[in-house]
Amino acid sequence: MDAKRYNNIKLFWSITKTVVTFLLLLIFVASGISEKLYVFIQNELSGKYLIFLIYVFTIGLGMAIIFLPLNFYTDFYLEHKLNLSNQTFIKWVWENTKALLVSLVIGVPILLFFYYSLLTFNGLWWLPFAIVLFIVSVILARIVPVFIMPLFYKISPIDDDELKERINKLAVEAGIKVENVYKFDMSKNTKKANAAFTGIGKSKRILLGDTLLDSYSEDEIETVIAHELGHYKKKHIIKNIVIGTASSFLTLFLIALFYKLSLNWFGFEKIQEIAALPILTLWGMLIGLIQTPITNVISRKYEYEADEYAVESTRKPGAFMSTLERLTEQNFGDKNPHPFVEWFFYSHPSIKKRIDAVKNAALRLGLTQNIEEHLNLKGG
């Protein structure tokens, strides 16, 4: 199986899962099953919030059971078939269980506040809920690198002094103070490689997968870090927070508006009716469908800018091109996706377009010799 087929299979089943989820929820509400489930839970339990939580958990459990075979196929079987995964079945189950537990710890309070907002603020429920979501997102940005990621990976400072010195120099040039550079044992789950710049404030961290550290030269790793720092230098993090916050407020406003307008289509009268709540998800999915290509266009623009910064700051376009090509191979990326697929679904430009953009940036900076050396090495 080649990379294109692998990506097409993943994309096909992702779309299928989304469409089936939408249709199941639509049938669930329109057929009256939602109302019957609510009545059944109400007869067995007391307390609005408890009934609400059990109702939501029941739907979530049902969806999890329905999609379990598909999730197993795409996340476990397919990855092993292509020798991309290092997980045993038990480890796969355990990692997913941990993710579920963390989601419950974070998600249950959010769900409860959502229902409180619905009961307390009526048609304006979306406003306090959006404010709280923003606060939660800021808190998570602070605590995820320090408290949550260590639940899934072993994180430790890198011990390569020369590489640390290179990275610290890049960080200074980007105007950012980095306390340390960390590695995480990405190899325990996958053979893929990655790096990330995470956190805000004092929790800012540069994270390098051990699969990256073990397989790439220091020049190549340097360009990856420069790319990540480029997002900070170009203020992409701040821009994403602003855009994300505005989008969140607008999305919740539209969901609340369309939810209220469409209640009587399904025989409901009040927005607080628990059996009607899946309608919120239906509208959220439809609005998300419209937002996806817009957010991806912005994301791809930021990736181009970070790539250009990586070339400018390291002056090693050859090493960066090599890294992009090798990462695409290692992560089984589609080198040349269909234009519509790339426009609608891809948050990063295709490797072909990124390489062309890196070449153009190098030419503007007069770094043609570096590119020629890369091409000669590749040819040899």
Q: What is the pLDDT of residues 241-264, one digit of tens each?
A: 899 999 999 999 999 999 999 999
Write the DSSP symbol of residue 189. Answer: T
Q: What is the rounded radius of gyration, in angstroms, for the C-alpha atoms of the chain?
A: 23
With tokens 């995480």, the residue in question is 184
Rounded CA gap, 257 and 251, in Å? 10
Rounded CA gap, 173 and 241, in Å? 23
Reported as a pLDDT band with limits 50, 70 and 90, residue 380 is: very low
Reported as a pLDDT band with limits 50, 70 and 90, residue 238 is: confident
- Residues 6 or more apart in contact with residue 367 via CB below 8 angstroms: 311, 315, 317
CA 266 from chain centre, in angstroms, equals: 33
User: What are φ and ψ of residue 50, in 5° steps?
Assistant: -65, -45
User: What are φ and ψ of residue 209, in 5° steps?
Assistant: -65, 145
Q: What angle do CA 45, 50, 56 make, to 5 degrees?
A: 105
* Mean per-residue pLDDT of the chain: 91
Name the residue ranges covered by the structural domains of the chain: 3-379
pLDDT in tens, 137-151: 989 988 988 899 999
| pLDDT at position 163 | 85
Rounded CA gap, 206 and 157, in Å? 10
